[in-house]
Amino acid sequence: MKWCDCQTYIEITPPEHFNFHECLLFLNRSDQEIVHVIHEEGVYKLLKINDSIILCRIVYNDQVLAVHFPIEVPSTEEKREVVRFICEWFDLDRNVELFYQAAEQDQLLSRLTLTYRGLRMIGIPDLFEALIWAIIGQQINLTFAYKLKRRFTEKYGEYMTFKGKTFWLFPQPEKIAILTVKELRALQFSTRKAEYVIGVARLIRDGYVTKDDLQGKDYDTIKQALVAIRGIGNWTADYVLMKCFRRANALPIADVGLHNALKIQLGLDKKPSIKEIEVIATNWEGWQAYATFYLWRSLYDEPV
C-alpha cells in the first residue's frame, strides 16, 4: 500500500474502487458505537501500539486518506503500524474489481455492487475484540449488543480525551482474564456469555490462541481452532474468519441480518432457509464474505 509520511500526518493512497463515504455510513450504523467516533466527515480511532496510545483522525481529501494525530505525533515505526491497521480495517489490499466482475453474473449482487460501489468490508483487526464482539452478539438483537459493548468498554477499556470528547480502546484480554462472572453479570451479561468472555481472554492472554499463529493456515484449520474454544460455534467462527482474518470466502450462513437482507432484496414472504441460502450463494463462490457484507449494508436503507 502506497503511503507518505508527511511528518505531522500520514497520507495513504487507497486503491481503485474505494468509497470513504460508504465506509463511514457503515461505521456509523449505531449511535451506541464506542470504539470509533464519526465526526465532521471523518472518523476518530484510538489505537494502542506497543505501550503507546495514539488518537487518529482519518479523513478523505483529494483522493487520499489523510491520517492526522490530534494529540501527539507518533514515531516512524508507530506510523507504519497505524498504516498497517488502517489498511486491514478498510481491507485496502483487496482487489475488489474481481468481486465486481463475479457479481455481474448474479442479479442480486450486480444491483448491490452498483449501489454501494467502493464499499470495503470493514474489519475488526484485533482477534480478541472480534471474538468478544461476536460472543456479545449471540442470540440478542443488535441494539442490545451495542449497549453491552459500550458498558463493557467503558468499564474496562482505556480512554483518552480531546476537546471535550472521550475516545475509547476496546478492553485488553489481560484485564478481562482476571474478572469474575459476577462482575460481568453486573453489566447484564448472561452467566454463559460471561464465562465465554473470560475464557477467551485467558486463552489469548496465555498465548494459547493468537492471530499470528492462525493467520497463515487454511480456512478449515482456522475454523476448527476457533470452534474448539468454548462459546465459539460455527456462526461465530465464520464471522471472525470474515471480519478478523479477512477470508473473502467466509459465509456466516446462520446470520439473522443476512437472512433479513435476503428476504427484503429478493421480495420473499419469509426469511429463506439455510438450504435456500446455500443455493442462492452458489454464485458467490470465493466472495461470500463480500456478498454478505453488501447485504448487511442494504439493511440500513430498508425497513426490516
Q: What is the CATH number of the domain that holds 183?
A: 1.10.340.30
Q: Is residue 100 part of a domain?
A: no
Same domain, 81 and 150: no
d(CA 188, CA 183): 9
Domain edge (last residue) among 197, 214, 243 = 243
Q: Is residue 98 part of a domain?
A: no
Instruction: Identify the residue whose cell numbers are 458498558.
Output: 151
pLDDT along the chain (304 residues), means of 10: 94 96 95 95 96 97 96 97 98 97 95 97 98 95 96 98 96 98 98 98 98 96 98 96 97 95 95 96 96 96 55
Same domain, 15 and 52: yes
Same domain, 156 and 189: yes
Task: Give the pLDDT confidence score for residue 54 in this predicted structure.
Answer: 98
Same domain, 155 and 201: yes
Task: Indicate which CATH number applies to the domain containing 84.
Answer: 3.30.310.20
Same domain, 83 and 166: no
Same domain, 131 and 239: yes
Q: What is the dihedral of CA 25, 6, 17, 280, to 10 degrees?
A: -60
Classify residue 171 by its DSSP letter.
P
- Write the burial class of residue 27 (CB in 10 Å: 0-12 exposed, 13-18 middle, 19+ buried): middle
Q: Is residue 115 part of a domain?
A: no
Task: Give the pLDDT confidence score for residue 302 in this predicted structure.
Answer: 52
Same domain, 213 and 155: yes
Q: Is residue 108 part of a domain?
A: no
Same domain, 39 and 10: yes
pTM: predicted TM-score of the whole model, two decimal places: 0.95
Task: Give the pLDDT confidence score for residue 1 in this predicted structure.
Answer: 78
Same domain, 80 and 164: no
Task: Give the pLDDT confidence score for residue 266 in this predicted structure.
Answer: 95
- Write the burial class of residue 81 (CB in 10 Å: 0-12 exposed, 13-18 middle, 19+ buried): middle
Q: Is residue 304 part of a domain?
A: no
Same domain, 237 and 136: yes
Q: Is residue 106 part of a domain?
A: no
**Catalytic machinery residues:** 255
Domain edge (last residue) among 217, 243, 269 = 243
- Count of the separate structural domains present in the chain: 3
Q: Is residue 41 part of a domain?
A: yes
Q: What is the dihedral of CA 91, 21, 285, 282, to 10 degrees?
A: 160
Q: Is residue 78 part of a domain?
A: yes
196 is in which domain, residue-wise? 127-243
